[in-house]
């Protein structure tokens, strides 16, 4: 599903760059930023970048006009601090990038509707 979400984000925005935070499986776009990236073409590796959880500055420094989307686990080993998720959402909206929450681990564990059910919508 994450690869489908990435592909849709690229199609919708017309952009190629992906920013990710957390674990997202074995897809080329994700594995390219790990130490298991042998066999992933450099052109694919150049399209994906990471940022640090609970560090809005690291996201904002990586976010640019080429960024199709930000994909992240909304909760990792630490809970979000200082309105981090809201700041991520606002940064994406301002940049015209999509925000994808990969709730493989948080989905039904936190609430039936996932973390979004707890936090509510970021757009009003």
Lookup result for tokens 């994906």? 48
What Cα–Cα distance (Å) separates residue 78 from each residue in 11, 64, 109? 32, 26, 15
pLDDT at residue number 28? 83
Q: Hey, what domains does the chain have and what are their CATH numbers?
A: 2-119 (3.40.640.10)
CA angle 25, 28, 31 (to 5 degrees): 55
Q: Length of the chain, please?
A: 124
The per-residue pLDDT string of the chain (124 residues; one tens digit each, 9 = 90 and over) reads 889 999 999 999 999 999 999 887 778 888 888 888 899 999 999 999 999 999 999 999 999 999 999 999 888 778 889 999 999 999 999 999 999 988 665 655 555 665 666 566 555 3
Tell me if 25 sits within 8 A of 2, measured CB to CB.
yes
Q: Tell me if residue 62 falls in helix, strand or coil.
A: helix
Strand residue runs (E) in the chain: 17-21, 48-50, 67-72, 98-101
**What pLDDT was estimated at residue 124?**
37
Phi, psi of 4 (to 5 degrees): -65, -40
């Amino acid at each position: 599903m994450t690869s489908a979400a990435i592909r849709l984000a690229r199609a919708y925005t017309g952009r190629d760059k992906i920013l990710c935070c957390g674990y997202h499986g074995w897809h080329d776009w994700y594995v390219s930023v790990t130490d298991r990236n042998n066999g992933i073409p450099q052109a694919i590796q150049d399209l994906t970048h990471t940022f640090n959880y609970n560090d809005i500055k690291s996201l904002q420094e990586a976010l640019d006009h080429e960024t199709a989307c930000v994909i992240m686990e909304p909760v990792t080993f630490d809970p979000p601090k200082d309105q981090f998720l809201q700041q991520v959402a606002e940064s994406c909206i301002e940049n015209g990038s999509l925000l994808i929450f990969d709730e493989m681990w948080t989905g039904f564990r936190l609430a039936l509707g996932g973390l979004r059910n707890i936090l509510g919508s970021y757009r009003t």
